Amino acid sequence: MYPDVDFLGIEWASKYYRHAVDRLGRWGLTNVRIIRADAAAFLRDHVPADSVGGFHIYFPDPWPKKRHHKRRFVQKDNVAMLIERLKPGGTIQLATDHEGYFEQMQEVTSAFRRELEEIAFVRPAGATEGERTGTNYERKYIRDRRTIRVLAFRKRSAGPKP
């Protein structure tokens, strides 16, 4: 799908990276690449400002213990970086099954209302009826009867400079 769009996946965990590489090879997708890296470091060091059409962050590690919350990806500095790298009109879509992390996502993104407007979550092409993201994690969480929570935003245009 979307043969004119290039996709880049970033995965830190070796097990899931290898699984994704295997699937990409079996499916013969030529417009998808994946790298094994720390997403925040890679985006900060290798992705220029105003260059990305959209970020899809689905089921990031919730680091549920309070002392580990600082390891969560959706933090103020990372969201600011995502916004900087988005093209005007670019989107950020977030999904989690973890209520506490969802609350943090809401809190963090609310600080960026001048830069981001909340929009309807757009279901990706791979999601089937009853799914929001179409990921294996989501399918497992649906079977476990967990609530899937989503947020979506569009980067506002900068507007005219004074």
CA dist 149 and 160 (Å) reads 35
What span, in angstroms and rounded, lies between the C-alpha atoms of 58 and 132? 10
Query: Is 22 labeled as catalytic in the residue annotation?
Result: no
Quote the CA–CA distance of 84 and 52 in Å, as a whole number. 9
* Dist. CA 142–CA 137, nearest whole Å: 9
Distance (Å, whole) CA 97 – CA 147: 6
Between CA 136 and CA 116 the distance in angstroms is: 28
Catalytic pick among 22, 45, 50, 61: 61
Active site residues: 61
